[in-house]
Amino acid sequence: MQILVVSTPILTALSINYISSDQGEAGYGFLLFLFTFFSMTLNRMFSTHLNYRLGNLGISMANTVTMMIFNKSLKYSELGNKDFSEAEILNYSQVDAERLVTIGLQLATFFYGPFLFIAGTLFLYWVLGITFLVAIGIIFLIMGLSYILSKIMSKINKKILDAKDDRMKTTS
């Protein structure tokens, strides 16, 4: 399926070269159009189905973990647990369950991500030449910024959970 993702920019570059040259045959142009059309159509069909299946996987994992935590919390007395209140356990399980839903959607990226990175790097080199290193540098800069922002969001999420715990303690 990922071959279809990689083939689209290559077919686009070939189509641009065909259009810009005056000596192209009409049959070759028509073939480029057909290949581009079918590769994009198949890519949309496969990616939509994959996202649907992985979304269902994430939801199933989240529901399973939530039920396991809920069943385990029913077996143990609240008096025996001095570390966490019942509200804290409930909040943590809900947050973890939400993360499992997104893990289901991101699971495919773990497998085909390196392939896409290598193919994209080769395509950048093919189009830009050696100046593609600037684009790679920008990609790594954005990855670093994304990592820093995820750490900040994690701290903010912890504060939100603590606020929810305080609210749950005052209402129950």
Residue 80, pLDDT score = 63
The CA-atom distances, in angstroms, between 4 and each of 40, 48, 72, 130 are 7, 13, 45, 25
**Confidence class for position 172, pLDDT limits 50, 70, 90:** low
118 or 5: which carries more pLDDT confidence?
A: 118
Residue given tokens 């039920």 in the structure block: 67
pTM value is: 0.46
- The domain limits of the chain are 2-171
Query: pLDDT digit string (tens) for 3-62?
Result: 777 777 788 888 888 888 877 788 888 888 888 888 888 888 887 777 788 778 878 877
d(CA 41, CA 133): 32
Burial (CB count within 10 angstroms: exposed 0-12, middle 13-18, buried 19+), residue 103: middle
Query: pLDDT digit string (tens) for 130-159?
Result: 888 888 899 899 999 999 999 999 999 888
